[in-house]
Chain A
Amino acid sequence: MTKIVADLDRCVGAGQCVLTDPEGFDQSEEDGTVVVLQDTPADDEALKRARGAVEICPSRALSLTE
């Protein structure tokens, strides 16, 4: 099962994951860091969006694990 992992220490709150996949990601009110809303993509479409978010993340805070 593919899982989305977020490294909050690396995250700089650019919000690019939220723009890419608003259903999968949000940002914390306090410091803007990523909040993973769905840590296991439900289908291929969700997985594709998650991959897009990982690719676009400027601080490399997001990754996918099997």
Chain B
Amino acid sequence: MTAPALQTTRRCPYAPPEQHTRIRDTDPGISQVTLPGGQVAWALSRLEHIRAMLTDPRFSSDRRNPNFPRFTRERPGRQPLLQTMIQLDPPEHGPARKAVVGEFTVRRMAGLRPRIQEIVDEQIDAMLAGPRPADLVQALSLPVPSLVICEQLGVPYHDHDFFQTRSATLLSRALTAQDRQQALTGLRDYLRDLIAKKAAEPTDDLLGRQLAQGNDPEDVLSLAFLLLFAGHETTANMISLGVVTLLERPEELAALREDPARTLPAIEELLRVYTIAEFANARVAVADVEIGGVTIRAGDPVLALSTAANHDPSAFDEADEIKLDRGARNHVAFGFGIHQCLGQNLARMELQIVFDTLFRRIPTLRLATPADKLRYKDDALIYGIHEVPVTWEESA
């Protein structure tokens, strides 16, 4: 029997595709699906299975493997233009991550708080001074993470249109091989020039410090690409989805306003429910492995249906309900295993500052378009919303 095509359209913004929950709720919770390029891949759907897979070295992240799962129709086994650490297995992965992880510790992130607060306040000032309704995506969701990652890396923010449009292109599901190549080449050349300038004239920013530590400029280039790319659309979409969700729940929003200690647990729940990087946890088996009684053979592509896993009723009580005070952090929205998101603590802090500041400063904020009329990103590899028109009372 042919494996059914992988479904990617959600039932609603926070409910996984029907196919994914059916796989999860039917024993053994593992099934085969066909990817857009024709590959047949194992789909894992239960939290326990996915966490086991992501911590098992017999599953590889190497995109040069011709059997690595592909979500677009591009040709298999190409040498990637940019090989970043998320595509490396041990032993290469460890040194690459350790070279930069000191820049992302919990303490370093706390040190960024005052500057992130300033950025958020400036964006809100500009939004309040502009016309109503405003598009929250352009006014706040995108510029905040963009400004933060640009400053951290030492990338001029005035170039942000250039890499933002290319990042968005790379995340489209409708991407042709040629579009992809062009976007990647453009980004690579831009970053190569920037890094050459920093090598000639040292700067005290993340990229400058990597060069000063004697890291190979080509490795710094890969890192720059990864961080710039990963730092844009992800947090931006979580800001948009979070604001819409909270505006739709006025009682819970009022509780958050009264007690900011509730914001971090609420963010964790929003991350779990939306799981915006739902297919990021893909791997290829490099040995025969048994999971949940199913033998996955060496060379088999493997997907993690991460949204279904984050709604797994055996891991979360009333898993389909949004409970902002749930406090569960064992979700896989940031992945799991050695590739777990490097920027997760930066993302948490950005979301916390944005939510606390936005709802405090604009208490009359409301959607100018009903939530069910918004254009959700079922067409992109990172889930989110295209535009979020918002308005407020003049006196705000």
Chain A residues with Cβ below 8 Å from B341 are: 14
Q: Does A40 contact B (CB under 8 A)?
A: no
Q: Does B98 contact A (CB under 8 A)?
A: yes
Q: Does A30 contact B (CB under 8 A)?
A: yes
Is B104 touching A32 in the complex (CB atoms < 8 A)?
yes
Residue of B nearest to A29 (CB): B102
- State which residues 1-24 of A face B: CB under 8 Å: 9, 12-16, 18-20, 22
Is B98 touching A59 in the complex (CB atoms < 8 A)?
no
Chain A residues with Cβ below 8 Å from B338 are: 12, 58-59
Chain A residues with Cβ below 8 Å from B102 are: 13, 28-32
Q: Does B340 contact A (CB under 8 A)?
A: yes
> In the assembly, what is the distance between CA of A13 and CA of B106, in Å?
10
A: interface residue count bin: 20 to 34
Q: Does A60 contact B (CB under 8 A)?
A: yes
Q: Does A27 contact B (CB under 8 A)?
A: yes
B: interface residue count bin: 20 to 34
Tell me if A's interface is mostly helix, strand, loop or mixed.
loop
Q: Does B107 contact A (CB under 8 A)?
A: yes
Is A56 touching B101 in the complex (CB atoms < 8 A)?
no
Chain B residues with Cβ below 8 Å from A29 are: 102, 105
Is B106 touching A60 in the complex (CB atoms < 8 A)?
no
Identify which of B94, B99, B329 contacts A56 (C-beta below 8 A).
Answer: B329
Q: Min CB distance, A23 to chain B, in Å?
A: 13
Q: Min CB distance, B388 to chain A, in Å?
A: 29
> In the assembly, what is the distance between CA of A56 and CA of B330, in Å?
6
Q: Other than the known A14-B341, A15-B106, A20-B329, what 19 A-B pairs have Cβ atoms closer than 8 Å?
A: A9-B94, A12-B94, A13-B97, A13-B98, A13-B101, A13-B104, A13-B105, A15-B104, A18-B105, A19-B106, A27-B105, A28-B102, A32-B98, A33-B98, A33-B101, A55-B330, A58-B337, A58-B338, A59-B337
Q: Footprint of B on A, CB under 8 Å? A: 9, 12-16, 18-20, 22, 26-33, 55-56, 58-60
Q: Footprint of A on B, CB under 8 Å? A: 54-55, 94, 97-99, 101-102, 104-107, 329-330, 335-338, 340-342, 344-345
